């Protein structure tokens, strides 16, 4: 691996709201700390801080520029995923793949199991994407008028959400995809305008004009410059238009469950939050919450573009801050204890303290042969 040393951004304020008030280093590391091979030593240090104003936890050290591009180009290995699935592949679209995808997509989305067509002869991922997005179609369609709306969908997997809005409401949809294969399939299957790739470091919208609704999947979590990204989105929404964010990664994943915080904070997860923090951060960027919920463990939220912006933003209550600081300490200790054996030396300085505190609060116990068993941190005696 040959990761460019430039550029690591070092932020002295919250990436989401700009406040300087924070609890530093609620997690020092991202997922790289659990890997035996890493791009370089600096790549595992993100120094996530908890903002006292909006409550978002953001990486205070984060890659940008050439360094970000390199990590993104090595996306699958960076997040520890290797996929044979052409739909999830970041590989450039070749003539051979194009022909293969065209052939597979020609059978369409609804290929019935009773027809006896092998799953290798069509693209079951198209239906999976339709069903996976139907919950969001239900939420958006129930809460705001969409008839004839102009819609932009950012980070669409296979156009499932936009195709439903077009079918149900005659919405005029354009989509942005991460990978060329997805762009090609969406154009081929649904005939929608599709662009690729998405620059999370220098975000821009490659379509003209304004939109009634902009949908972003897992965007806020990934944005290198969330305030600029939200400003770009806001600029391209008509007055009173809506932003719907979904599949946003929430801290409950490691504060409530015994999942290692290091493991869940992959190197592209630059922000994490609870629902009130996400709502406050969006508020600080000119959006007021209409409806937020959790779908499949992830935040989904509908926000309206506010006209009176900027205005004083809401501050996280002290009791919420203290509770979350405590819970982050518990989760950080558990993440240390869950470090894989071969790389445990990286947390040697933290190990004894983490073990002592976790045994005391009941989130860890020493099992046979000195093996450490961990329990859900939500039950910690703190």
Query: Minimum distance from CB of 95 to Zn ion (Å)?
Result: 47
Cβ–Cβ < 8 Å for 218, 200: no
Task: Please identify, using beta-carbon distances, which residue of 14 and 219 lies nearer to Zn ion.
Answer: 14
Task: Please identify, using beta-carbon distances, which residue of 56 and 123 lies nearer to Zn ion.
Answer: 56
Cβ–Cβ < 8 Å for 351, 344: yes
Query: Minimum distance from CB of 252 to Zn ion (Å)?
Result: 19
Task: Please identify, using beta-carbon distances, which residue of 19 and 163 lies nearer to Zn ion.
Answer: 19
Task: Please identify, using beta-carbon distances, which residue of 194 and 278 lies nearer to Zn ion.
Answer: 278
Q: Exposed, middle or buried, 66 (CB in 10 Å: 0-12/13-18/19+)?
A: middle
Residues at the contact surface with Zn ion, assessed by CB under 5 A: 14, 16-17, 19, 51, 53-54, 56
Query: Minimum distance from CB of 324 to Zn ion (Å)?
Result: 13
CA of 339: how far to CAs of 26, 36, 52, in Å? 17, 11, 29
Cβ–Cβ < 8 Å for 360, 343: no
Query: Minimum distance from CB of 285 to Zn ion (Å)?
Result: 10
Query: Minimum distance from CB of 292 to Zn ion (Å)?
Result: 17
Q: What is the CA radius of gyration of the chain?
A: 22
Task: Please identify, using beta-carbon distances, which residue of 84 and 319 lies nearer to Zn ion.
Answer: 319
Task: Please identify, using beta-carbon distances, which residue of 55 and 241 lies nearer to Zn ion.
Answer: 55
Task: Please identify, using beta-carbon distances, which residue of 53 and 78 lies nearer to Zn ion.
Answer: 53
Q: Could you tell me how many residues make up the chain?
A: 382
Cite the beta strand spans of the chain per DSSP E: 8-10, 22-29, 45-51, 57-59, 61-63, 150-154, 172-176, 193-195, 211-217, 237-248, 271-272, 287-295, 298-305, 364-366, 372-374
Residue 108, token pair as written in the block? 């369409």
Question: How many Å from the N-terminal Cα to the C-terminal Cα in the chain?
Answer: 42
Query: Minimum distance from CB of 279 to Zn ion (Å)?
Result: 12
Task: Please identify, using beta-carbon distances, which residue of 56 and 300 lies nearer to Zn ion.
Answer: 56
Cβ–Cβ < 8 Å for 375, 363: yes
Query: Minimum distance from CB of 301 to Zn ion (Å)?
Result: 16
Q: 153 CB contacts (<8 Å, ≥6 apart)?
A: 159, 161, 162, 173, 174, 175, 176, 214, 215, 217
- Residue 50: phi and psi, rounded to 5, are -95, 115
CA-nearest of 323, 279, 324 to 304 is 279
Query: Minimum distance from CB of 281 to Zn ion (Å)?
Result: 6
């Amino acid at each position: 691996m040959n990761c460019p040393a430039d550029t690591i951004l070092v932020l002295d304020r919250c990436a989401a709201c700009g406040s300087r008030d924070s609890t530093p280093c609620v997690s020092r590391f991202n997922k790289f700390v659990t890997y035996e091979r890493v791009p370089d030593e600096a790549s595992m240090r993100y120094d996530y801080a908890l903002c006292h104003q909006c409550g978002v936890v953001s990486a205070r050290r984060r890659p940008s520029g050439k360094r970000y591009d390199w990590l993104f180009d090595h996306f699958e290995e960076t997040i520890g995923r290797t996929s044979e699935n052409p739909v999830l592949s970041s590989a450039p679209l070749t003539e051979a793949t194009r022909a293969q995808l065209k052939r597979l997509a020609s059978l369409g989305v609804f290929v019935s199991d009773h027809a006896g067509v092998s799953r290798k002869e069509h693209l079951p991922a198209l239906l999976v994407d339709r069903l996976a997005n139907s919950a969001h179609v239900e939420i958006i369609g129930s809460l705001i008028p969409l008839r004839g709306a102009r819609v932009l969908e950012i980070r669409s997997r296979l156009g499932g959400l936009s195709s439903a809005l077009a079918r149900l409401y005659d919405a005029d949809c354009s989509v942005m995809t991460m990978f060329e294969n997805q762009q090609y399939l969406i154009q081929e299957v649904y005939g929608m305008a599709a662009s690729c790739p998405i620059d999370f470091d220098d975000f821009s919208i490659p379509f003209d004009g304004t939109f009634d609704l902009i949908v972003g999947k897992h965007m806020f979590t990934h944005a290198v410059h969330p305030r600029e990204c939200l400003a770009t989105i806001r600029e391209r929404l008509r007055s009173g238009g809506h932003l719907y964010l979904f599949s946003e990664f929430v801290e409950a994943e490691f504060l409530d469950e015994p999942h290692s915080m290091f493991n869940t904070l992959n190197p592209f997860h630059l922000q994490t939050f609870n629902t009130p923090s996400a709502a406050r951060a969006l508020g600080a960027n000119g959006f007021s919450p209409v409806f937020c919920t959790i779908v499949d463990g992830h935040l989904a939220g509908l926000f309206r573009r506010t006209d009176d912006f900027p205005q004083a933003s809401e501050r996280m209550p002290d009791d919420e801050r203290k509770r979350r600081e405590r819970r982050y300490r518990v989760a950080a200790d558990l993440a240390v204890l869950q470090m894989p054996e071969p790389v445990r030396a990286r947390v040697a300085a933290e190990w004894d303290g983490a073990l002592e505190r976790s045994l005391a609060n009941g989130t860890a116990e020493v099992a046979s042969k000195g093996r450490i068993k961990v329990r859900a941190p939500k039950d910690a005696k703190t």
